[in-house]
Amino acid sequence: DAKTTQPPSMDCAEGRAANLPCNHSTISGNEYVYWYRQIHSQGPQYIIHGLKNNETNEMASLIITEDRKSSTLILPHATLRDTAVYYCILFEGKLIFGQGTELSVKP
């Protein structure tokens, strides 16, 4: 079973920041938090991952709470092409995908 909990769907206005939450209250000390997204009929695309510290790359920022029990993926300026299902996943040996959050970016 997936060890993360995400809202099933979210909307975001184009050009605004999209903040996608994820709860992982049973995370262990060695587990990384990974984020992927999947556009319909394509393979999942890696976005970002982190262990304890906040991380930023050219696609997104990842904010992990101090107790590591939750995290937030931030897309700073969402575009229509960011419409996808976003998966928050804990990794220790293998990825376990849950249902993800379906993000709809609207004009």
Applying CB under 8 A, among 23, 32, 59, 72 the residue interacting with another protein is 32
Q: How far apart are CA 95 and CA 62, in angstroms?
A: 18
Applying CB under 8 A, among 46, 54, 57, 65 the residue interacting with another protein is 46
Radius of gyration of the chain (CA): 13
The stretch among 10-18, 19-27, 60-68, 95-103 that binds another protein (CB under 8 A) is 95-103
List, in order, residues 6 or more apart from 90 with CB less than 8 Å away.
Answer: 3, 4, 24, 27, 31, 32, 33, 34, 96
- For another protein, the closer of residues 17 and 39 by Cβ is 39
- For another protein, the closer of residues 46 and 54 by Cβ is 46
> What number of chain residues touch another protein (CB under 8 A)?
20
